[in-house]
Structure 1
Amino acid sequence: MNLKTPAFMSQYVSECLTIVSNINSLSSGAMQTTLVDAVNHRLLAAGVPVVTKHENATSQANAEFDFQNWRITFGAPLMVPGSLDALRLGVNTVYHEARHCEQWFRMAQGLAAGKFNKNVQNRIDVSSAANIAAGMWIPQEIAQKAKANTDYSGNSDREVNAWWDSIYAASGGIRGKKLGHINERYNAYRNLPEEVDAWYLGDAVEAEFDSKCPKTGCPSYAYWKKKTSLSFSWRSSALKEVDKALDAYNKSKSAPNRSILKAKFDKWYDLKEQQGGSARAKGLDNPVLQLKAFLDQYNDEGAQGKKLFHGDQSELLAALAKRK
């Protein structure tokens, strides 16, 4: 059992949904606490040491897993009063970062169990937790827990080895090289094995959150068609283009599909605004304003955005790339 387990993901989402009804009255700290508590319940069930939370107001990252201190550090984008948009962003981000936490612990377990190649074993003495902690730059108590229990809990040797090679390889971790120039190498960073994994899970829990909280996120195609259909009113060609793009995005929630949807929607919405507004955007329960809010808050770089790392973490991971 690990954070990829569907039941764990659903349980996490269910806990996050408990604060939807009063989200607008919550402080950023209360929202963060709910998210971290929810993910810690899943980490504990997966046999992974739980994280604490921290804030860094100077960071433009939504949040990041600080492996040196075993905590999730929230940046300015999630140090805001509670709102559905902030909660949705937090649901994705915290699960994403918690998966990094699990990845780091699985690597520590693999190191302790001697599952990596001989070069790794020759480079890092695994006879003590202190040596493992020093070799990975993680807290010693985390290394002790990894040494005491080396069961990957359903994660494969192949994926744990891939994470290790990306981060701690003696020839220079690929991750550090990409993070040293993240804005120029953003796509390469997104393709790192540990990031493909974490982004997939973060996006998956966000999608489940949206499906169970239908007044947030991208409306379903069926809901959109039902609520935007008016008696004695035909659908314009521009609106039909929105229909088509929304259907495509609901079937495959990719950034390119979202970009197409935004372009089609903006074209239709701007045209209706010039004509005095759309009759389909009336009332509180309508998908037009819901879709507009969803598209407006996206920057087409994904929920995490580009500015993910800062300060010591970026420098530390870049330093890993220089290790021989």
Structure 2
Amino acid sequence: MDKTAERQVRLEGVERMLQMSMERIKIAMIIPKLLENPEELKRVLKGTRYEEVLEPIDDMIQYLGKQTGRSKLPHDHTTMRIVDFFLVNHRIHRFFPHLMRSLEDRDRQLLAAFHFLLESAHMHLHRSSRSEITKERKLHAIYHQNVDIQKKIKELKASLAFQKVIGKWKTAAKGIYLMKVEEDLANKKWQNNVAIQNEIEKCNRTMRIYHKGSLDRQKELEEELIAAREAYEKMTLKHLREEMELRSEKNKLLLQLQSILKKYDVSLGEKMRENIDEENQYLAAKKLLDEFMITYKQEERIYKAVVVKREEEERRLQQQKLMIFMMNRAAAKIQKYWRKWKKEQRKKNKRLAKKGKKGK
């Protein structure tokens, strides 16, 4: 076995030992809780390859039952045997995850510290010379990068100082330019103030002219208003007179309307009486007409019966005449055809007779 393989085996042994120690610490933390509840311990471990520890636990429980007044475990061979069994078979803690979750904070911190120790040991044990050389190279490259960065920082500082000087010159130039601009602005303000003053004077003159014109126009409007009021009063008087005349005319027309209505009422009464008389005459005439219609309908029924009978008689006579005419016509046609046939027979017989003579 070469040195590399031997080193690897040793490293694995160390890691395995550390892992086993961590597992034993876990089981050691929950041993008191397991022994506090032996019934649950029996229920979980029964039927497994760890049930051989149940018998010593029963012996210990019986011993504690006999020793009244004692609650601590005795430091004897049985107790040490039970503890050694749990430490050797440290995987038992996996059957009780709820106990691992209910550990105290101090125990949790201890497990976390041991876990960190295990990871650190793994990292340091598996560290090789090649990885260290690689790290040194990376650090050397980082150092050179840092040197380059320092140089760039110096260059940037020098450039920044130069830019500051240029900025100061530019600021001074801008100050001079601003002074010139302020002088020009003051000059323009003075010119604008003069122009504004001139415009104000022009506006004042214009306002005075407009005010004078407004006063003149107001005077004219007042005169027109007085004339309009006088005309309105005259028109009002005229309308009042016309209204009085129209009212008198209206009264006359109302009187005429009343007289016309009276005449209409009188004539309407007369017309109604005449209408009643005419209606009575109409009813009497209608009664006579109804009586006449009764007689008329009876006569009409008799007339219709006679007419129907006469029409049937005429229809029968016409049918008889038509039958006689048809029979005579048929007899004439039969006689005509008979004569014709008889004539043709005689001619035929004559031809036959002539043919017979020629044959002889």
Q: Same fold judged by TM-score > 0.5?
A: no
Task: Return the index of the structure with the highest Cα Rg.
Answer: 2
TM-score by length of 2: 0.21
TM-score under structure 1 length normalisation: 0.22
